[in-house]
Amino acid sequence: MTKLIKSGAYAQDVYARVADDAPLPEGPVLVSLARFQKERDTLLARNTAVGIKLQASENPELLGADVNHFALIALEFPKFRDGRAFSWARMLRTRLGYTGEIRAVGDFLYDQVNYQHRVGFDAWEVPDHFTIEMFNRALTEMTNVYQPSTDGRITIRQLRAAARKS
Amino acid sequence: MLNTLNQPLAKPRQPNMYRYDEFDAQFVNERVEQFAGQVARRLSGELTEDQFKPLRLMNGLYLQLHAYMLRIAVPYGTLSSRQMRKLAHLARTYDKGFGHFTTRTNLQFHWARLVDVPAMLRELASVEMLCIQTSGNCVRNVTADQFAGATDEEIEDPRPLCEIIRQWSSLHPEFVFLARKFKIAVGACEQDRAAMQWHDMAVQVVKNAEGRIGYLVMAGGGMGRTPYVAHVMNEFVEREDILAYLEAVLRVYNQDSRRDNIHKQRIKILINTIGPEEMRRRVAREFDELKRMGTLQLPKEELDRIAAYFKAPDFETGLSDEMPDAGPDFANWVKTNIHKHKAPGYAIATITLKTPGQIPGDASAAQMDAIADLMDQYSLGEVRVSHEQNLILPHVRKKDLPAIYAKLKELDFASPNAGLITDIIACPGLDYCDLANARSIPIAQKIAKRFEDLDRQHQIGELKIKISGCINACGHHHAGHIGILGVDKKGVEFYQLLLGGSGAEDSSIGTIMGPGFGEHEIADAVERVVNVYLAERKDGERFLDTYRRIGMEKFKAAAYQEAAAA
């Protein structure tokens, strides 16, 4: 059973992970890009949510116009040092206009959660010891930010401008 | 002798440089506490060394051969006297009394203890300093021309842009886990004193045909085992678009760089694999999107607001522009270590941390304190660090130069060798660094001693020797007129010679001469190479010019012929 934090709370993972060669079960499924590309029509014809898991090397633009068919896009961190998914999440939320769930999966650290949150992730598959308190702390260690990002947070530059006007 | 210099002045001078406001201060303080938490988790064993490593690296903390090394950012090389005194205090309190200025214009302490690091960071934060992103696979401390704001060669002071880049790149959520480190340099004149073309990305302030100021952006330079000089990415980026353009370059890099081979993950490899034309195309696509979104556009008020911090000081007027006469030693020092200042009666003075026999870039706590006093007394409270590991007093009155020279002599920092053969760049090498294959410091010391005679140095003229203790090239050996690379052959240190590199506006990659020389042969080999230059040079040629004209052959024959006979 995976531990999931979504929209700031523990959540139930409703998606069944399906190996590329396993039969599709009933209900929501999470498949690889390879499987999706092979069985696109079948998957989209099912009357249930489809999630896709992208490897760090898989650019979300590969999904083309299909991107908004997915209720879940899981972005894999193969190793916490591999930061490509930060740019993929950003791209999904802005260029591709994706509004569904973006979930961080794989090997990432407590110390990366805040950055993930900023670029557009809204769900995290976390290890057992990872609590909601840790999650909330990770998001609040740094009060302000210098850069505009996907989260639309007010930047320090905007705060300064506002302070000058008041 | 030093005691007379150690008397602090009544009031340190605050130079015109960026000052933290409440937001910057809060940001740094919270970051310090965040890192203190990470240190505590490491000390308690909650974090493994493997997990702690990328976190400590993002805060400038390395684990070296003997101890932790803490690298402190000196943003674009600018320090106030108050900051310099704090560095002296840290050297005394937490290190063995020394600091080491690096080719990235940072300062390193090589003997830090992990438990002390949070306290060191708190002390640094109290003088608006930090270690954020001085290492790790993220955007590093931005460097600049060390004469910024003082030279008449520049279009404008490049430091306001540096500060804007510093803030934008600080804990940038998308770019803190890049494929590799990412170094940015900024300059504003034809002369390149910041080795710009050797950076992952460089920004040069330029004027277009209509006289409008904007930025030329280069990318893909780098040293290491595969040296490249940078390609021009865009010849003119409008001022308000510059952050969007830099973000576009980083985004392409983060998305498209290899991640499967640590030696092929710098942006130079990406650009030279897909070609600069394709890179420009990919960047342009991201840039157009970012411009359309508009969130990174830089309003003129913001540029002006930051630029106001760096406003030129009110220079005294009516000063004589004549150089004082204070004897032949002083005249020698003036010849090499003084650069023209934009204000009449003023000069830019380089203090080389390269007295022959000394460790290049090292300064003791007492020396740092004494330099802080010189800064307050003579240079409007300010000093700069250069990538050549020297310190620069940017705004001194010519009439004060003899007094400054006299005090530098007491400090053993008055070597008249800026740009000469003994003004050597060297990495810490195997004496400190666990990546190194060979020692650099003793080689630098040996060569500097060999050429100690001043008349001879001046006769040789501009000659840049750069020494690295391994292929990672922290000592810039690819960019040396004479480069030296330490290698390990079956447990014995050997030193390869490279000729013809340059880190200036005429940047070029040095060529390896051939098999390495032993520790005891290398100074002889350098001397024989220099002798070929002296015999072959035509009027006004620097070593580099002669090499470029006649090529490697004669130098190589001389270097090896006598090595074989010896």
List chain B domain ranges: 158-307, 425-565
Question: How many H-runs (helices) and E-runs (strands) does chain A carry?
Answer: 5, 8
What single letter denotes the amino acid at residue B183? K
Task: Give the closest of B24, B31, B254 to A83, CB-based.
Answer: B254
Q: How far is B23 from chain A (nearest CA, A)?
A: 7
Cβ of A2: how many Cβ atoms within 10 Å?
13
Counted domains in chain A: 1
Burial degree of A39 (CB within 10 A; 0-12, 13-18, 19+): middle
So what's the pLDDT on residue A133?
95
pLDDT of residue B4: 46
Tell me the mean pLDDT in the region A155-165.
93
Q: What is the pLDDT of residue B563?
A: 60
Cα–Cα distance measured from residue B545 to residue B533, given in angstroms and rounded to the nearest whole number: 10
Quote the pLDDT of residue A89.
98
| Pairwise CA distance, residues B343 & B479, whole Å | 32
Residue A69, pLDDT > 80, answer: yes
Q: Residue B533 — φ and ψ, nearest 5°?
A: -60, -50
DSSP B146: T
pLDDT in tens, chain B (566 residues): 444 444 555 578 899 999 999 999 999 999 999 999 999 999 999 889 988 998 898 899 998 888 899 999 999 999 999 999 999 999 999 999 999 999 999 999 999 999 999 999 999 999 999 999 999 999 999 999 999 999 999 999 999 999 999 999 999 999 999 999 999 999 999 999 999 999 999 999 999 999 999 999 999 999 999 999 999 999 999 999 999 999 999 999 999 999 999 999 999 999 999 999 999 999 999 999 999 999 999 999 999 999 999 999 999 999 999 999 999 999 999 999 999 999 999 999 999 999 988 888 999 999 999 999 999 999 999 999 999 999 999 999 999 999 999 999 999 999 999 999 999 999 989 988 889 999 999 999 999 999 999 999 999 999 999 999 999 999 999 999 999 999 999 999 999 999 999 999 999 999 999 999 999 999 999 999 999 999 999 999 999 999 999 999 999 999 998 666 55
A78-93 pLDDT, tens digit each: 999 999 999 999 999 9
Per CATH, is B425-565 categorized as 3.30.413.10?
yes
Sign of the C-alpha dihedral computed for residues B298, B301, B302 and B307 taken in this order: positive
Residue in B446, B511, B457 with CA at minimum distance from that of residue B481: B511
Would you list which residues of chain B are within 8 Å, Cβ to Cβ, of chain A? 21, 23-24, 26-27, 30-31, 33-34, 37-38, 51, 54-55, 137, 167-168, 170-179, 251, 254-255, 259, 289, 293, 295-296, 301-302, 305
Q: Is there a contact between B66 and B109 (Cβ–Cβ < 8 Å)?
A: no
User: Of B27, B51, B174, which has the smallest distance from its Cβ to A149's Cβ?
Assistant: B174
Mode of pairing for the β-strands spanning A72-77 and A101-106? parallel
Strand, helix or coil for residue B263: helix
Closest by Cβ to B176, choosing from A83, A84, A90: A83
Same fold, B158-307 and B425-565: yes
Instruction: Please state the separation of Cα B533 from the chain's center in Å.
Output: 28
As for the ipTM of the complex, it is: 0.97
Chain CA centroid to CA B136, Å = 17
Q: Tokens 């030129």 sit at which residue?
A: B312
Distance CA A126, CA A108 (A): 9
Would you list the DSSP string of B29-47?
HHHHHHHHHHHHHHHTTSS
Alpha carbons B395 and B381: distance in angstroms, whole number: 9
Residues 6+ apart with CB under 8 A from A58: A33
Q: What was the pLDDT predicted at B11? A: 73
For A29, the domain range is: 3-165
Average per-residue pLDDT for chain A = 95
The terminus-to-terminus CA distance of chain B in angstroms comes to 45
Question: Residue B45, by phi and psi: left (phi above 0), alpha (psi -120 to 50) or beta?
Answer: left
What is the per-residue DSSP string for B35-94? HHHHHHHHHTTSS-HHHHHHHHHTTTEEE-SSSEEEEE--GGGEEEHHHHHHHHHHHHHH
Q: Look up the pTM and report it.
A: 0.95
Q: Which residue has the higher pLDDT, B281 or A8?
A: B281
> Chains A and B: how many Cβ contacts under 8 Å?
97
CA angle B326, B327, B330 (to 5 degrees): 75
What confidence score (pLDDT) does residue B3 get?
A: 43
Residue B177 and residue A112: Cβ atoms within 8 Å?
Answer: yes
B152, with CB counted inside 10 A (0-12, 13-18, 19+), is: exposed
- For residue A1, the model assigns a pLDDT of 62
Rounded Cα gap, residues B507 and B218, in angstroms: 13
- The backbone region for B299, taken as left when phi is positive above 0, alpha when psi lies in -120 to 50, beta otherwise, is beta
- Burial of B1: CB neighbours in 10 Å, binned 0-12, 13-18, 19+: exposed
Shortest CA distance to B348 belongs to which of B191, B129, B127? Answer: B191
pLDDT score, position B566: 52
Cβ of B171 and A146 within 8 Å? yes
CATH number attached to the domain at B158-307 = 3.30.413.10
Interface with A, mutate which of B177, B250, B283, B297 (most A CBs under 10 A)? B177
